[in-house]
Amino acid sequence: MEKVFVAQRVATKLFETEAAVDGALAQASELMSEMLSARKDVKASMVFADEAQAKLMDAMKALSEARTAMVSVHHQLDEAKLRLGIRTKMFGVENKMIATPEAVTMREVG
């Protein structure tokens, strides 16, 4: 099998994993928001479910560390791709918007 196709297969899984980690972090953030709103809605004190909120913060910290690790994996695989002599750009599962000077427009405010 050609190296470029193997690299594309790995890149696809990498991008899916990155998206999954980001998605999990976003879901955890939404859960925290919902937990805080629920506490207010039932008029519970600040100490109510404090331990659960602290555990969720631990989980969010772990997800953040996982995200940082995935960025490192991404860079390592990019270097490996170059060492294998693969020079093509691997595209992910989501459209990446890169701001170019032509794409950025500014307007005067106030």
Q: Residue 39, class by beta-carbon neighbours within 10 Å (0-12 exposed, 13-18 middle, 19+ buried)? A: middle
Number of domains in the chain: 1
Give the pLDDT confidence score for residue 105 in this predicted structure.
58
Q: What is the pLDDT along the chain (110 residues), one digit of tens a residue?
A: 799 899 999 999 999 999 999 999 999 999 999 999 999 999 999 999 999 999 999 999 999 999 999 999 999 999 999 999 998 765 554 444 444 444 545 566 65
Measure the CA–CA gap between 88 and 79, rounded to whole angstroms.
13
Report if residue 67 sits inside a domain.
Answer: yes
Report if residue 19 sits inside a domain.
Answer: yes
Global pTM reads 0.74
Report if residue 94 sits inside a domain.
Answer: no
